[in-house]
Amino acid sequence: MQRVRILVFNAALGALDYRVPEGMKAVPGSIVVAPLGPRQIIGVVWEPESLEAAEVPESKLRPLVEVLPAPPLPAPLRRLIEWTADYYCAPMASVARMALASSAALRGGGTVTEYRLTGTEPARLTPQRLAALDALTGEQATIRELAATAGVSEGVLRGLVSAGALEPVTVDLDRPYPAAKPDFAVPELSPDQQAAADAFVAAVRERHFRPFLLDGVTGSGKTECYFEAVAEALRQGRQTLVLLPEIALTQNFLRRFEQRFGVPPVLWHSSVKSTERRRAWRAIASGEAQVVVGARSALFLPYANLGLIVIDEAHEISFKQDDGVRYNARDVAVIRAKFEAVPVILASATPALESMQLAENGTYERIELPDRFGGASLPSIEILDLREEQPERGRWLAPRLMKEIEARLERGEQSLLFLNRRGYAPLTLCRSCGHRFQCPNCTAWLVEHRFSRRLACHHCGHEVPVPELCPECGEADCLVACGPGVERIADEVRDLLPAARIAQATSDTLNTPERIADFVTAAEEGAIDVIVGTQLVTKGYHFPQLTLVGVVDADLGLEGGDLRAGERTYQQIAQVAGRAGRAQKPGQVLIQTRHPEAAVIAALAAGDRDAFYEAETQGRRDAGAPPFGRWAAIIVSSEHEAEAREAARMIGGSRPAHPDIAILGPAPAPLSLLRGRYRYRLLINARRSAQLQKVLREWLGPLQFPRGVRVGIDVDPYSFV
């Protein structure tokens, strides 16, 4: 009799043993269906020695139902799942689930039915039908997805099918992707670029683990360099994974990839529709998908034949996932490269301090591109001290910045104003009674969005229409907006320069791939004079006409004062500055601040990156902060304040005493209410030598909590709220 251990996708169950029926072939990694009580569950066959399960006598073992028609998860991926679960103190089941991100794909290939518009107008036109016809132009997807896109019920769409306005299309899930051509359009590289490319190509040929830090200034052509490594992986018939920090950047990448290799790469992120995900998953698992570009969720997919991993904009904090499994995709990608024995390239103009340190101590090979490509110069950076050059009352842009924007407008060049705040104003209050609009579910102000005339919470999505009367005192027309958001800055520019074509670039306006593509095209063609945007436009883009960057409020990021506030501010401003003057015309950057003396701002103004990193490194060393020491957080939450407090107190009360570990708290989290849950935090600061995970497991493992309490562990946290 063959006995197998199954990792089941239920964190509470963990691993269970089963019997393999006669004639069935189950090997480690096989994805199987198993009986559980009256139900059936999906799981993965695992090596029994690396996974604990309850002892069950042979006679009691139930037989597996079937092995699903998908390739077994490869051994390096199984090791990665174990490592991730162990390092981040997460259930293995939750990590493994990320590898099987498309459950439909496990059922094999075949076909699915999608629908698209026929161009025929239905005889009867209801408002809903009209809305659907309008929204679905150019779309093709399943009924459920189309209904979500159009914001109508599936019933409305079925009606449109009957009326002949929508037609079914059969889609073959296993239709092959067109082959990328490694030599489709080979660029001529500068000597620096060539040296970088040569090192990468050699590493891909060698086929073992080699981590690189590609440290190149903005506009140096980092993409062109790592594309040569991708080309080599293609020639070798091996797969490449390119991780990008945001979906918004994939559109841009896609185009550049197509120009270089003749075909688009395979895309993977949360808004790829289900049929495409299913197709992509199968091609990734079979080895047929050559190059996959995606957000962090692409990291755990079951690549059959990986040859290279690239992490672009590797400093970006969005690689850190803060819900579900709290992991850092940048760090796990390096571990994956190690298990897969392949090279990994971290590309950035403003590397994270942690990455710098690893390059410093020789763990990473640093490859530098000190100059912009094609002789373009780096922009000049100037501080605009708001205490001396004050904007007019009720305005946020200093006269000098406005004058520069106006000059660009006259010369037909572009300006970019950066403010990392969506909406019109971060706080709205009543002039007559002082009432402040707060989210009922979160410790946060509601943000006015004037365009959609709503007050919205940026944490939980709670939204209400802007009221006509103050809900507290009943006064009419009494609401005042406090402080600027992107919408308000756009208004200000419009007021002063009515002729300017202004585009707002935030996750509110650029929320679909199409809108992003339209924006990028318009910006590249010079159809936009002034871009007002959040961090969304700070990176990746190359707009040749853009010669002025204005940072509206450089002090904003320093306010919270968390561990990485300085670093993040430096990175954001250096990145957005890097959008200026990327082509022939030189760029200028104006940074508005009230604290020109702050170390970060001074370093930016002096263009002295080394000084900044040195000071920051020293500060971290003194504080025992990463990369010199380690942090972890324990987040306790419940819908009931008392329950959360009690659980936090219990954890605090059983804290271990350890010379290498300091434990702070419990204390109410800065965001003490989030999505209707009350939150408490404990912070753990450990020396690098401490066995942090072991301590956490032994500390929290034996504790019992009421059902409504959630206890989350965040190893290497990025968020301190």
Provide the binding-site residues for ligand ADP, judged by CB under 6 A. 187-189, 193, 216, 218-224, 373, 542
Select from 255, 366, 454, 459 the one that contacts Zn ion (CB under 5 A).
459
Using CA atoms in the order 339, 340, 345, 346, what is the torsion angle rounded to 10 degrees?
Answer: -40
What's the full length of the chain, in residues?
721
Q: Which is nearer to ligand ADP, 30 or 220 (CB)?
A: 220
Rounded to 5°, angle at Cα 364 from 363 and 369: 150
Query: Closest separation between CB of residue 224 and ligand ADP, Å?
Result: 4
Select from 442, 574, 632, 684 the one that contacts Zn ion (CB under 5 A).
442
Residue whose entry in the numeric block shows the structure tokens 């006259």: 410
Q: Which is nearer to ligand ADP, 517 or 683 (CB)?
A: 517
Q: Which is nearer to ligand ADP, 221 or 550 (CB)?
A: 221
542 binds, among Zn ion, ligand ADP, none (CB under 5 to 8 A by kind): ligand ADP
Q: Which is nearer to Zn ion, 222 or 677 (CB)?
A: 677
The pairing of strands 479-482 and 588-593 is unpaired
Query: Closest separation between CB of residue 333 and Zn ion, Å?
Result: 32
Query: Closest separation between CB of residue 216 and ligand ADP, Å?
Result: 5
State which residue has the least CB distance to ligand ADP. Answer: 221
3-class secondary structure per residue, 659-672: CCEEEEEEEEEEEE
DSSP letter for each residue of 126-164: -HHHHHHHHHTTT--B-HHHHHHHHTS-HHHHHHHHHTT
Query: Closest separation between CB of residue 202 and ligand ADP, Å?
Result: 19
Q: Please give the sequence-ordered ranges of beta strands (E in DSSP) within 313-444, or none if there are none.
A: 343-348, 365-369, 380-385, 414-418, 427-430
Query: Closest separation between CB of residue 643 and Zn ion, Å?
Result: 20
The pair phi, psi for residue 197, each rounded to 5°, is: -60, -40
Query: Closest separation between CB of residue 459 and Zn ion, Å?
Result: 4
Per CB under 5 A, does 682 bind Zn ion? Answer: no
The pairing of strands 210-216 and 239-243 is unpaired
Q: Tell me if the bond preceding 666 is cis, omega within 30° of 0.
A: yes
487 binds, among Zn ion, ligand ADP, none (CB under 5 to 8 A by kind): none
Tokens of 41: 């569950």
Select from 53, 460, 522, 625 the one that contacts Zn ion (CB under 5 A).
460
With CA atoms as reference, report the closest residue to 101 among 278, 287, 305, 318.
Answer: 278
Per CB under 5 A, does 457 bind Zn ion? Answer: yes
223 binds, among Zn ion, ligand ADP, none (CB under 5 to 8 A by kind): ligand ADP
Query: Closest separation between CB of residue 462 and Zn ion, Å?
Result: 4
Q: Which stretch binds Zn ion (CB under 5 A): 83-91, 365-373, 452-460, 578-586?
A: 452-460
Per CB under 5 A, does 721 bind Zn ion? Answer: no
With CA atoms as reference, report the closest residue to 304 among 286, 325, 327.
Answer: 286
Tokens of 39: 């139900």
Quick one: residue 366, left, alpha or beta (phi over 0 = left, psi -120 to 50 = alpha)? Answer: beta
Select from 441, 452, 507, 719 the one that contacts Zn ion (CB under 5 A).
441
457 binds, among Zn ion, ligand ADP, none (CB under 5 to 8 A by kind): Zn ion
441 binds, among Zn ion, ligand ADP, none (CB under 5 to 8 A by kind): Zn ion
Query: Closest separation between CB of residue 547 and ligand ADP, Å?
Result: 15
DSSP code of residue 445: B
Measured CA to CA, the distance from residue 718 to residue 597 in angstroms comes to 26
Q: Which is nearer to ligand ADP, 253 or 519 (CB)?
A: 253
Query: Closest separation between CB of residue 425 and Zn ion, Å?
Result: 17
Q: Which residues bind Zn ion (CB under 5 A)?
A: 439, 441-442, 457, 459-460, 462
